[in-house]
Amino acid sequence: MNAEQEIRDLVEERVRAVRAGDGAALATRPADDVITFDVLPPLSSRGSDATLEHMRAWFDSYDGPIDYSVHDVEVTAEGDLGFGCFLYHVGGTLKSGDQVDMWVRATLCCRRIDGRWRIVHDHESVPFDAQTGQALISLAPECRRTSGRGH
């Protein structure tokens, strides 16, 4: 299997883990010293333990399953370094009763460590309106190519 396909498989593994609410499965891919810039607080975090703690809190905030799908996956890899970027849609009902229906941009920078692709930098963002400073979480991609395989 080539490196690009292995990183695509990592993204698909992530989709399955989020849909299943499986924080332990998500925690197997970040490197021990991963740097994460998430759309949720804190502004940044470092380390796989922080990633697992954050995922558990995120999963615990939902009342029921999380709808999560990736779109427009692009992967580049050479040697032991690679990255995948994609859009993802997340939806569901929070324990507060609020509905989540948002689009996020994501980039996973990966390094092959001991023969396995690990995430060394996880960056997520949402666009914002420059005039109001408000996040545009409902902004959807113009071309909505969707798939469980993340095409």
pLDDT of residue 143: 57
Question: Where do the structural domains in the chain lie, given as residue ranges?
Answer: 3-125
Q: Are 46 and 38 in contact (CB under 8 A)?
A: no
pLDDT of residue 149: 39
Per-chain mean pLDDT for the chain: 90
pLDDT in tens, 65-87: 999 999 999 999 999 999 999 99
| Domain with residues 3-125, CATH architecture | Roll (3.10)
In 38-98, at which residue ranges do the beta strands (DSSP E only) sit?
Answer: 45-46, 67-78, 81-93
pLDDT of residue 150: 40
Cα(1)–Cα(30) distance, integer angstroms = 21
Which residues of the chain have a pLDDT value below 50? 144-151
DSSP states along 79-134: TTEEEEEEEEEEEEEBTTS-EEEEEEEEEEEEEEETTEEEEEEEEEE--B-TTT--
pLDDT of residue 52: 86
pLDDT of residue 126: 93
